[in-house]
Amino acid sequence: MLRGISDKDAGRYRQGNVLIGGASTIAPDAVHLPQEMHALIEWYERSGDMHPVERAAEPHTRFVKILPFIDGNGRTGRLLLNFELMKSGYPPAVIRTQDRQTYYRVLDEARVTGLYDGISMLVAQAVQRTLALYLGLITGGLGGAARP
C-alpha cells in the first residue's frame, strides 16, 4: 500500500497542498489536516445511529475529501469503508471497473452538496452484488440445494 511513497511521507499527513483530479472541490490546506481529521473522528463517534451502509459510505467520502496523505487516500478510504461494513456484518463493497466513473461522480456530488444518498446507494449495490456472489458460491458448492 505504501509502494512508491518516500519514507519521509509514509504514515504522515501531507505537508503540501494537493488537487483532487476531476473533482469540483479543493482539498483542505495541509496546515488544517489535524483539525479536519479530528473533526472526522468526532463526527464518526457521534454517528452510531446511522444505517451501517451509510455509516461506511459517509466517512469514506469525508476522508477522501480531506486527502490527508500524499498518496493512497483512495485505497485507505476504501479500506475504511470495507472495515466499517464488515464490522457491522456486511460483506465488502467492491467497486467494479465499469462502476468507477459513477463512483467518482457520486463521490464528487457528495463532496460538493454534502448529500450522501448517491454514494450510499452505490455502496449498497456493491454490497448486494458481493452478497449474491457469496451466496451463489455457497449454494453452487452445495449442488444448488441449500442445507439447513
Q: Report how far residue 33's alpha carbon sits from residue 57's, in angstroms, rounded to the nearest whole number.
A: 20
Q: What is the pLDDT of residues 10-64, one digit of tens each?
A: 778 999 888 766 667 788 999 999 999 999 999 999 999 999 999 999 999 999 9
CA atoms within 13 A on the CB side of 56: 26
Q: Which three cell numbers stand for residue 68?
A: 490527508
Is 82 annotated as a binding-site member?
no
21: in domain? no
CATH number at residue 47: 1.10.3290.10
2: in domain? no
146: in domain? no
120: in domain? yes
Beta bridge partners of residue 26, listed in sequence order: 19
Q: pTM for the complete prediction?
A: 0.84
1: in domain? no
Q: Give how many domains the chain has, as a whole number.
A: 1
Q: What is the pLDDT of residues 65-94, one digit of tens each?
A: 999 998 889 999 999 999 999 999 999 999
Is 74 annotated as a binding-site member?
yes
59: in domain? yes
Is 72 annotated as a binding-site member?
yes
Is 144 annotated as a binding-site member?
no
Is 118 annotated as a binding-site member?
no
Residues 96, 98, 99, 101, Cα dihedral to 10°: 130
CA atoms within 13 A on the CB side of 1: 11
Query: Which candidate, 133, 6, 18, places its Cα nearest to that of 74?
Result: 18
Is 103 annotated as a binding-site member?
yes
Per-residue pLDDT at 145 = 54
Is 90 annotated as a binding-site member?
no
Query: Which domain, by its residues, includes 74?
Result: 30-141
Q: Report how far residue 63's alpha carbon sits from residue 86's, in angstroms, rounded to the nearest whole number.
A: 18
Cα angle at 28 between 44 and 30, to 5 degrees? 105
20: in domain? no
